[in-house]
Amino acid sequence: MNFTATLRIALLALRINKLRSALTMLGIIIGVAAVIIMIAVGNGAQARVEDQIRSLGSNIIMVLSGSTTSGGARGGTGTLPTITEDDAYALNREIDEIQAAAPTLRGSGQAVAGNANWSSSFYGTTPEYLEVREWAVIEGRGFEAAEMSGAGKVILIGQTVAKNLFGDASPIDQVIRVRKVPLTIVGVLDRKGQNMMGQDQDDIILMPISTARKRVLGSTQQAKSRSVGSIMVKVKDGADMAAADARMRELLRQRHRLQTGQDDDFFIRNLSEILQAQEASSKVMSLLLAAVASVSLLVGGIGIMNIMLVSVTERTREIGLRMAVGARGRDILTQFLVEAVTLSLIGGAIGIMLGVGGATAIAELAGWRTELSGGSIVLAAGFAGAIGIFFGFYPARKASRLLPIEALRYE
Amino acid sequence: MSEPLIRVVDLAKDYVMGSNVVPALRGVTLDIDAGEFVAVMGPSGSGKSTFMNLLGCLDHPSAGRYSLAGQEVSALSGDELAAVRSRKLGFVFQHFNLLARTTALDNVALPLLYGNVPAAERHKRATRRLTQIGLAERMDHHPAQLSGGQQQRVAIARALVNDPQLVLADEPTGALDSRTSVEIMALLQELNREGITIVLVTHEHDIADFAGRIISFRDGKVIEDRANSAKDAAAAL
C-alpha cells in the first residue's frame, strides 16, 4: 500500500471525528506553543543580560574607597577617600593581568549650553576609561595627552546629554558650562543604553581627571588630594579573574601600608561576575520554563495515545474488514501510526503559529523581550512528530495484532 | 480438470478456552471444484463458521491440510495469508461491513489498495464492478444513503473487484428481508454462471436451495454433502 493512500485514509479518519481530532490536537497545540513561547521568553531574558554585559564591558573589576568608622558608626563605601589616582597608575603598570585601569572622580551638576540646560553626572577620568568600558567615540576625538596633564577644558558627552542640550545639531566644538566652568565638547560617545539597574548610561559627561579635580569640583575634599572615588579595571581576556583580584588586593594593601591582620581600606567588586551569575540564573530559568512546557507536550502525547486507543477499539470491525480484504499487519500499523503522526504534526504546526504569535504578543503587550529562535521551532516540531510516533505506536501495534476473525466478529 | 479449486484433508480446528480445548472442527475432508456454487449449512456451533474462516484464510487450522488453487495454505504466516486473501479471495458478510462515510466507489476499491494497484486502475476496476451490479449511478453515495440490498450489492462488488478465484459469503442475506434476499441470491447465481466459485454459509433452507451443492455440518463434522438442483432466483422474483 503506498503512502499517499495511507495519508488519505488517515486524513479521512481524522475528518470523520472533527471535534475529537481537534480536542486531541489541542494538547499538542498548547504544548508546542508553550515550548516556543517559554524558550522565546527565556532567550529574551538571557539576551538582555548578555547586552548588559556587553554594555558594561567584559571582565570588569571595580575598586572602591573604604569606609570610615567614627565613634562606632561605620560609614558607607567611599566615605573614606583611601584610593588614589596613583593606585590606578600602579595597577596599570604592575599587574600583568590588567589590560587597563581608569581612576574616576564622580560629580554631578547642571550643564548649560546657551539657553538649554540639563542635569547630568560627570566623571573625571583618563583615556583608559573608554578602553575599560569598550566605549567608542563616534564623533570628534578623545582626550589628548596635553589635555590630560594640563587640565584641558575639554569634555566628551553621551548621547542623552547631546540630545538634551543640542537636539539633532552637532555638539562638536560647542561650549557648555558645568558648574560655571566653560568646557569645549571634543567628542560624542556611542550609545550604551541602560545598565543593569535601569540607569541611562548615556547621560554622562567625561573630562580629564585633572580638569575635574582642579577646575570643576573646586573646593570639595577630593579635589585637594590625589584621591578618587573608584578605579575601574579591565582584566585581559582569558586572564584569571580571581588571580587578578588577589594580586590587586596585594598591591593595594602594600601601597596603603596595611599591616597583616589589618582590614582592607578599599573594596574590590567583580562586576562581570555578578552579571555572569545573573546570566547563569537566567539560563537555568529558561531551561526550567522549557522543561515545564515540555511536560504539557508530554501530556498532549498521552492524550493522543488515549484517543488512538479508543479509536482502535471503535474501529475494530473496520480493522477486521481491512485485514479480510488483504491488509497485512504492517499496513494497519502504518495506517494508525500515520494517523497519530498527522494529528501531532498538524497540532504542532498550529502550535508553532500560536507560539510565534504568542511570543510576539508578549513582547508587544507586556513589553518583555522575547527572542524566537529557528532552533526552538524546529525542536518543537520535531518533538511533536516524535510524540506522535512514540504515543501512536502502542495503539497502532495493538491494532495490527488483532486477529481478523475476532476483529470482524467484534460488536 | 486436474485439481479441484479447494481441497481440504482432515481439517481440524480446536479453540483453547482457558484450560479447556474445545474442538470446533473435527476432521473435514472434501473438494470443491472451480465454478461450483456451494451452500454450507448447519446449526450454530456446528463448525460451519470455523470452516468458512479456514477457507477464507482468516485463521490457522490446528491440523490437516488445505490447498487453494494448488497452493498449500495451511502452514502460511499471517502476512502470506493476507497476500492470499488479497489475490484469490473475496468476502461478503452478513452485516456488509462497508466503511462508513466512504463512498461506494472507495469501498469497492478498498481491496485493490492492499493489492498495490495504482489509483487510476483502482478507479477503473471499481467502476466496472459497480456498473456490473447495477449501482453505477450510486457510486458517490455513502453506505448510510443506500438501502440494505444496495449496501450488500456494493459489498459483493467489493468482493469481486480483485478478480478472486473464490467468493466466500457468510450469511449474506441474514440482515435482509426475504425479497431483497432473493435479489441478492439472483445476483450471486448470475456471477456463478459467469464462472465465479461461491461458497455461502446460511442456516436458511430457502437460501441454500439456490445453490448447486449443499454441505451440512453438525458437531464439527460434515454429515451430508449432496448435489442440489438449484432453484433459479431470478425466476423466483
The pLDDT tens digits for A2-14 are 778 788 888 888 8
DSSP-derived secondary structure for B20-54: EEEEEEEEEEEEE-TT-EEEEE--TTSSHHHHHHH
Per-residue pLDDT at B9:
93
Per-residue pLDDT at A79:
59
Cβ–Cβ of A2/B116 closer than 8 Å? yes
- Determine which of A77-91, B149-163, B191-205 has the lowest per-residue pLDDT on average: A77-91
Cβ–Cβ of A318/B162 closer than 8 Å? no
Cα–Cα dist A355/A31, whole Å: 9
Per-residue pLDDT at A70:
60
The number of folded domains in chain A is 2
Chain B residues with a Cβ under 8 Å from any Cβ in chain A: 53, 56, 58-59, 78-79, 82-83, 85-87, 91, 93, 97, 99-102, 110-111, 113-116, 119, 158, 162
In whole angstroms, how far apart are CA A301 and each of A218, A340, A383, B157?
72, 10, 10, 40
In the DSSP assignment, the letter for residue A160 is H
Q: Considering the domain boundaries, does residue A238 fall inside one?
A: no
Per-residue pLDDT at A322:
92
- Out of B59, B101, B113, closest to residue A1 by CB: B113
- Residue A393: pLDDT band (50, 70, 90) is very high
Label residue A389 exposed, middle or buried (CB < 10 Å: 0-12, 13-18, 19+): middle
Give me the numbers of helices (H) and strands (E) for chain A, helices first please. Answer: 14, 12
Please determine, for residue A97, whether its predicted confidence score (pLDDT) is greater than 70.
yes
Instruction: Tell me which residue range forms the domain holding A122.
Output: 101-229
Q: B34-63+78-236 maps to which CATH number? A: 3.40.50.300
Q: How many CB pairs under 8 A join A and B?
A: 65
Residue A2: list chain B partners with CB under 8 A: 116
- Residue A73: pLDDT band (50, 70, 90) is low
Q: Scanning every residue of chain B, which has its alpha carbon at the shortest distance from the alpha carbon of A316?
A: B97
Cβ–Cβ of B114/A318 closer than 8 Å? no
Among candidate residues A159, A194, A229, the one where a domain is terminated: A229
Cell numbers given for B146: 443506500
- Residue B143: pLDDT band (50, 70, 90) is very high
Per-residue pLDDT at A196:
67
Q: Scanning every residue of chain A, which has its alpha carbon at the shortest distance from the alpha carbon of B103?
A: A12
Q: Considering the domain boundaries, does residue A240 fall inside one?
A: no
Q: Write out pLDDT tens, residues A245-258.
A: 889 888 988 888 88
Domain spans of chain B, in order of start: 34-63+78-236
- Out of B53, B100, B115, closest to residue A405 by CB: B53
Q: Considering the domain boundaries, does residue A82 fall inside one?
A: no
Cβ–Cβ of A325/B111 closer than 8 Å? yes
Q: Write out pLDDT tens, residues A345-376.
A: 999 999 999 999 999 998 888 888 888 888 88
Q: Which of residues 9-68 of A touch B (CB under 8 A)?
A: 12, 16
Residue of A21, A321, A322 best to disrupt the B interface, most CBs of B under 10 A: A321
Please determine, for residue A222, whether its predicted confidence score (pLDDT) is greater than 60.
no
Cβ atoms within 10 Å, residue A362 = 17
Q: Considering the domain boundaries, does residue A270 fall inside one?
A: no
Tell me the ipTM for this assembly: 0.91
Most confident residue range from A44-58, A69-83, A204-218, A322-336: A322-336
Cα–Cα dist B178/A321, whole Å: 26
Cα–Cα dist A242/A265, whole Å: 19
Cβ–Cβ of B79/A328 closer than 8 Å? yes
- Out of B58, B78, B97, closest to residue A405 by CB: B58
Segment B4-31 mean pLDDT: 91
Roughly what angle, to the nearest 10 degrees, separates helices A241-255 and A85-94?
Answer: 130
Q: Considering the domain boundaries, does residue A122 fall inside one?
A: yes
Please work out, in degrees rounded to the nearest 5, the angle formed at the alpha carbon of residue B88 by the alpha carbons of B83 and B93. Answer: 95
The residue assigned the cell 479518519 is A13
Cβ–Cβ of A327/B82 closer than 8 Å? yes
Per-residue pLDDT at A221:
57
Segment B55-80 mean pLDDT: 90
Q: Which of residues 302-361 of A touch B (CB under 8 A)?
A: 317-318, 320-331
Cα–Cα dist B209/B228, whole Å: 7
Please determine, for residue B66, whether its predicted confidence score (pLDDT) is greater than 90.
yes
Q: Considering the domain boundaries, does residue A243 fall inside one?
A: no
Segment B186-195 mean pLDDT: 92
The residue assigned the cell 440494505 is B148
Per-residue pLDDT at A410:
82
- Residue B86: pLDDT band (50, 70, 90) is very high
A322, A404 contact by CB (below 8 A)? no
